[in-house]
Amino acid sequence: MSQVYDKWNEVKKQVNCKNRNLSIKVREIFWVKIGQNIGDEEYGKGEIFSRPVLVIRDFTKDLFLGVPLTTSIKNNDYFHHFEFNTKKGSSSNSAMLLQLKAFSKKELQIKLVK
């Protein structure tokens, strides 16, 4: 498991060097490098440890409030199911309400959908 954290640490060093000045809006969905976290905290997938995140509120030029998304459809008090359209078609997702947190705009990747 320590190899995974070592790999995330290298990605995090690259993320920290970026200087982003992006204008984001509520309800936009971005791929975000959220990292390899511990315990029950949600973590990113793939080589750059990313996952889709729904923008809830833009706080400052550097921070925003977001909620990670999953394609696992769950209907309970901790997940909110919704669908949205992308260029490739419709996507069914659940917002992981327990994972709501502040993210750095340095971690933003590509916009998935408005």
Residue pLDDT, tens place only, 6-37: 765 676 677 667 776 778 999 999 999 887 77
| Mean pLDDT of the residues in the chain | 82
Query: Which pTM value belongs to this model?
Result: 0.80
Residue 11: what pLDDT?
A: 63
What does the alpha-carbon distance between residue 112 and residue 114 come to, in Å, rounded to a whole number?
7
Q: Residue 77 above 90 pLDDT?
A: no
What does the alpha-carbon distance between residue 37 and residue 45 come to, in Å, rounded to a whole number?
11
Class of domain 2-113: mainly beta
- How long, in residues, is the chain? 114
Nearest to 100 by CA among 64, 65, 61, 70: 65
Q: Residue 45 above 90 pLDDT?
A: no
Residue recorded with tokens 């954290």: 5
Task: Give domain limits for the chain.
Answer: 2-113
